[in-house]
Structure 1
Amino acid sequence: MAYRETEKMRQRKAQARQRIIDCTYECVANGGFRSARITRIAGLAGVATGTIYRHFESREDLFAEIFRTATQREVDKVAEALTTDGDAAVRLEAALRQFAERAMRGPMMAWALIAEPVDPKLEEERLVYRRAYAELFEKAIRDGIEEGCIPDQDARQSSTCLVGAIAESLVGPLSPTLAGQITIADIDKNKLVDSIIRFCMQGLTGTRR
């Protein structure tokens, strides 16, 4: 008789997989991908290390799952901000502020997603999600051009410039490698966010906001 997996067994497997994901997410949020060692994840999840590899082909596959989950949450928040009231310029400013403020509230996860040195598989995921942000910004810029609140320009190019500017401007403040020099706790986060948004919006609209 062929082996048939029971519903109870499928549920147990699904629960174990979710525990692995949740514990890996916690490790990354607290110390970046470098701190998410398989032995540590297994201990937190209450499973054997071999169990992790039954659910994920490799460490890189597990990390890619975490990267997609975490980044999609951020993309969704930016998309949500773009539905707020006001013209396209106001909505873009709200979306950029959402991006920066959430990074300030979760600096280690933001660092892991934006700039932490990672394996090529995660770099590919990083590029995918940068494009996702750029596509959201591009649509808003096109809307702004049609509304007349944003000057005529290459919306696609401007959107990639916005993604690059806001991500790069956060790398230094978020970097854990600056310990002993300046830390995120030493930074006036409101002032930093305001400065980043001002730069982005002035570049986009040509006017001081």
Structure 2
Amino acid sequence: MPYRRTPRVQARMDDQRAAILQAAIDLVAEQGYAGCSMAAVAARAGIATGTMYKHFTSKTELAVELFRRVCGHEVDAVAQAAAQPGDLVQRIVAVVETFTSRALKSPRLAYALLVEPVDPAVDQERLVFRRAFRDIAAERIAEAVATGVLPPQNAEITAAALIGALGEILVGPLAAGAQIDEERVDAVPDSLPELIAFTLRALGGSDAHS
């Protein structure tokens, strides 16, 4: 008969996997993907390197799971911001504010998630989550167009352009922030006001909404 894990053993394995993922997230936030080797993650998690392979067959598999975990939280935060009651344009702006402010609070992690060179499998995950952010923005833009708050436009194209532009615009500030010690995190450039103004112009709205 095949071996079946007892609930107690399974719970211990689940806890160990969660500890590995958290250790990997912490390392990426501190050193980027380059510092997230299987040995380094094992040391941070307090386990043997060989134990890592009971949970993840490779660094790439670990990186994909890490990416899904972190970006899933980011998508949830942006979706909650977009769902807040209020002016439709401000709800679109809230997507930009949430996306940007959360990235700037953890610049090294955000830089790793957005632009750091990674394996093709992680790049594929980037596309999946970029579409998720796009769809959240597109839904609000379409609603604003339908109610006459914004001029006619293709909501999906506008949203894709906005999300792509945000990622590109943030590269510089995030790269700078990745070089700053945690004690000097307040020195990260604040691009939020300019990004909000850019968003309003891109939507066909007015800076007066800000």
What is the TM-score with the length of structure 2 in the denominator?
0.91
Secondary structure in structure 2 of the residue aligned to 1:54: coil
CA distance in 1, matches of 2:72, 2:5: 32
Q: Superposition RMSD on alpha carbons, in Å?
A: 2.0
1:116-151 deviation digits (Å, cap 9, x = unpaired): 111101000000000001111111110000121111
CA distance in 1, matches of 2:134, 2:2: 50
1:153-201 deviation digits (Å, cap 9, x = unpaired): 0111101001011111000111159859xx9754441xx1100111121
Tell whether the 8 Å contact from 2:107 to 2:178 is kept in structure 1 after alignment.
no
CA distance in 1, matches of 2:128, 2:156: 15
CA distance in 2, matches of 1:185, 1:2: 55
- Count of paired positions: 205
Kindly indicate whether residue 74 of structure 2 is the aligned counterpart of residue 74 of structure 1: yes
1:94-131 deviation digits (Å, cap 9, x = unpaired): 11111111111111111111111111010000000000
Tell whether the 8 Å contact from 2:81 to 2:98 is kept in structure 1 after alignment.
yes
| Residue identity in the other structure for 2:148 | G
Query: Which residue is equivalent to 1:45?
Result: 45
Cα pair distance change 1:178/1:55, threshold 3 Å: closer
Structure 1: runs of 5 or more not aligned: none
Question: Matches of residues 102-181 of structure 1 in structure 2 within 5 Å?
Answer: 102-175=102-175, 179=179
Structure 2: runs of 5 or more not aligned: none
| Residue identity in the other structure for 1:118 | V
Kindly indicate whether residue 32 of structure 2 is the aligned counterpart of residue 58 of structure 1: no
CA distance in 2, matches of 1:77, 1:175: 23
Query: Which residue is equivalent to 1:30?
Result: 30
CA distance in 2, matches of 1:100, 1:43: 32
Shift of 1:32: 1.3
What is the TM-score with the length of structure 1 in the denominator?
0.91
Cα pair distance change 1:4/1:100, threshold 3 Å: closer
CA distance in 1, matches of 2:6, 2:164: 49
